[in-house]
A and B are shown apart, each in its own frame.
Chain A
Amino acid sequence: MKRKSHSSAAGVSRRTFTAGLGAAGFVAGTAPFNIVRAQGGPLKVGVLLPRSGYQAGIGQDCQRGVDVTAGLLKDLGLPELQFMNADTETNVDVARSRAEKLIGEGAQVLMGAFDSGQSTAIAQVAEQKGIPYVINIAAAPPITEQGYKFVFRNFPTAPMILRDAFLNQKEIFAAAGSAPKSAVFLHVNDTFGTAMSKAIPGVMPKFEMPYKILETISYDPAARDLSVEISKAKATGAEAVILVSRLNDAILLTREMVKQRWSPMAILSMGPGWYEDQYLKTLGKLSDGPLSFVPWYDPNKPLSKKLEDALAKAHPGVNLNTNHVYTFEALLVAADAYKRAGSADPKALADAIRATNITNNVSPGPGIQFDAKGQNDKLLGSAIQNRGGKLVTVAPKVAANAKVELPMKPYDKRS
């Protein structure tokens, strides 16, 4: 009786055992899916941008690219991203500490930081902690020359920008039927400006440009008065000005050119500043004319139109520009990789990013792919010109939607 009772209590018949085994098998079989679901929430992306300091205007413009991302990713069938915002304060040390803090707070991917110096610091942190970092904008070549495994850049390096800038300049000069014979080179003395300055002597001779650079003038990007710089540039008698600048200094330089009654034949910018909305709004008619040779977007790609529409809806009156495009694409890379990796495991994410092959994108070129160093080396640059508060693409011919106006209309001839 006792034995029977015991046996009954245990109730482990062959049928029960088989059912139990099946249940255990089911639980075991579904367990991985449960784990995936647990990790299948939004990917936590630490967004590092200079939201204050002298790059604040550009940092906030990049944020507009973040703002429009959610809806577009949903339309593309990509997973949701959860943004963890941080301000680098336009400071390399702050960028480093904010990156560490974001990782400490659970960021699974880092994105940013517009500036080469700040991006270099973040890259070191990301590599040390083993967290994938997708750079939106930063051109200094060394960032992707360090053998990093977790750092990826969908933005051209300084030599790539220069190569395309010189090619597009030659195309423009041929189309306009005139070209400057001399130029003065003004550049900011930060990481990006210095990288561009170092790259020019090596890259320029290959393109047999029609002008000679008479003098190179470097200046502090946080400078509050650039009158001396313009006096010095004007004194060279150069026909054109080549620039690598930022936003505030681009405005200051233009003001000084007007005040010092100097209208060069062409302003050829190879960096940010001259095409930004704040530049156009602050200077009005005086903003017309400069040519920017920059990583831009291909207006003929379907996703470009969608991004333009999303930006127009979120920020009416704001022109789509480099800051929005490359910030959006960096987040697109992260979401695409997260979908393919199926998990937020840092190594799996990094491997997925390395295998990226996005052809439905916005930037010019065949799409987003990374080489062994984590660099998208297939990007192409564009030439854009400020016209009546708008931006038109004047080169390369395949992506152009307007003809170049050269020489630039003198400042004193504008009503």
Chain B
Amino acid sequence: MPLEIYLNVAIGGVLTGLVYGLMALGLSVIFGVVRVVNFAHGEMMTIAMYIAVTLFSAFHLDPLVMLVPIAAVLFVFGYALQKALINPFITRPEHSQFLLLVAVAIIMVNVLLILFGPDAQNVQTSYSYDSFQIGPVIVDATKAYAGLAAIVVAVMLFAFFQYTHIGTAIRACADSYTGALVVGLDVKHLYALTFGLGAACVGAAGVMLVLIVDVTPPLGPAYTLLAFVIVITGGLGSMPGALIGGVLIGLTEAMAGLLFTPSAKSMFAFGILVLVLLFRPQGIMGKRSAS
């Protein structure tokens, strides 16, 4: 098989993996700070995808142009969800949180089914069928835009947590819930902000993903599972780990499809997960817990 085929597939896998990584980043941020596992993560992404599809079909608004407004809508949604529904569950047992978010996910899927029906929907932008030819290598334009946008959003998020006061306060909450309370931080507000940021991340990922895949209401659970695979591989709670995990899973799926059989792509992604759990349970970038 010619070398350019390997390169084409590898580049495609990395670009798709970057979008996966951004999606998983949202999950990792939420868990890292709020310590709640968002089982409605994929469904929240599906909501963002439907917003993008609706805006495109009604007003021909390009999803990449609408990335920031849609991420903002998801931020508000995430903030409200945390403030109104999840905050009371913060101190409750984990199984209560799990059931709450699974219920939220099921409600989301069914509301989307009622609103949009079961048909697959997509956006057909002017660059939907474009590709860049660099020598013998052909790069899918939509994947390239989505991958680049994922890098930009991830860098902005890192900068926010590293260099802003609110980011520092959120990290303080992540380090010690009690300590944050003692120094007078409004922890519940900061938790809601964090959940909003995680939702904005997954919203941005959804907007980019709608350029690559068609959206249907039942799409959410598959992506929730994928996000879990990525964050566990990368390291639960680690932001760079989520991105690295996303790229690793995207690349593994692509190369496994090329070298073995495409129908076994997911099997290899789960194979990576099993290996990580066996030999580095804290994930590639995760820290081993003190206990």
Contacts and interface: CB of A to CB of B under 8 A. Distances in A.
Interface of A: 51-54, 56-57, 60, 189, 217-220, 223-229, 231-232, 234-235, 248, 251-252, 255, 258-261, 278, 282, 286
B131 interface: yes
Contact of B258 (A57, A219, A228, A251): A228
Contacts of A52: 113, 118, 218
Given A54-B216, A235-B1, A255-B129, A260 B263 contact: no
A260 B118 contact: no
Interface in B64-117: 113
A228 B263 contact: no
Contact of A261 (B1, B5, B138, B261): B138
Given A56-B118, A218-B263, A220-B263, A227 B140 contact: yes
Interface in B245-291: 253-254, 257-258, 261-263, 265-266
B30 to A, nearest CB: 24
**Main secondary structure on B side of the interface with A:** mixed
Contacts of A235: 1-2, 5
B135 to A, nearest CB: 14
Interface residues of B, number: 37
A91 to B, nearest CB: 10
B57 interface: no
8 contacts: A54-B120, A56-B120, A223-B262, A232-B257, A232-B262, A235-B1, A255-B128, A258-B129
Contacts of B212: 224-225
B214 A248 contact: yes
Contacts of A234: 5
Interface stretch (B8-16, B21-29, B165-173, B175-183): B8-16
A260 B8 contact: yes
A383 to B, nearest CB: 27
A272 to B, nearest CB: 15
A252 B128 CA distance: 12
A217 B8 contact: no
Interface in B193-214: 212-214
B218 A228 contact: no
A60 B119 contact: yes
Nearest to A52: B118
Contacts of A223: 262, 265
Nearest to A189: B263
Contacts of B263: 189, 218-220
A52 B109 CA distance: 12
B246 to A, nearest CB: 14
A409 to B, nearest CB: 15
A225 B213 contact: yes
A58 to B, nearest CB: 11
Nearest to B122: A282
A124 to B, nearest CB: 25
Contact of A217 (B129, B254, B261): B261
Contacts of B120: 54, 56-57, 248
Given A60-B119, A217-B261, A248-B214, A231 B128 contact: no
A232 B214 contact: no
Given A57-B120, A220-B265, A228-B254, 20 more contacts: A56-B216, A57-B119, A60-B119, A220-B262, A223-B262, A224-B213, A224-B214, A225-B16, A227-B140, A228-B12, A228-B258, A229-B262, A231-B8, A232-B257, A232-B258, A232-B262, A235-B5, A255-B128, A259-B141, A261-B133
Contact of A228 (B1, B113, B138, B262): B262
B265 A228 contact: yes
Contacts of B130: 259
A286 B2 CA distance: 27
A259 B127 CA distance: 10
A229 B129 CA distance: 17
Q: Which of A57, A223, A224, A258 has the most B CB atoms < 10 Å from its CB?
A: A224
A259 B254 CA distance: 16
Given A235-B5, A258-B129, A259-B140, A53 B218 contact: yes
B116 to A, nearest CB: 11
B214 A228 contact: no
A231 B119 contact: no
B219 to A, nearest CB: 8
Contacts of A189: 263
A248 B133 CA distance: 27
B213 A259 contact: no
A229 B254 CA distance: 9
Nearest to B266: A220
A282 B123 CA distance: 10
A266 B219 CA distance: 32
A229 B218 contact: no
A71 to B, nearest CB: 26
A195 to B, nearest CB: 15
A219 B263 CA distance: 4
A232 B130 CA distance: 20
A255 B211 CA distance: 12
Nearest to B213: A224
B23 to A, nearest CB: 13
Nearest to A221: B263
Nearest to A236: B1
A218 B218 contact: no
A198 to B, nearest CB: 15
A201 B89 CA distance: 59
Q: Which of A54, A227, A278 has the most B CB atoms < 10 Å from its CB?
A: A227
A60 B216 CA distance: 15
Nearest to A228: B257
Contacts of B118: 51-53, 56, 60
A305 B218 CA distance: 38
Contacts of B138: 259-261
Interface in B123-157: 124, 128-131, 133, 138, 140-141
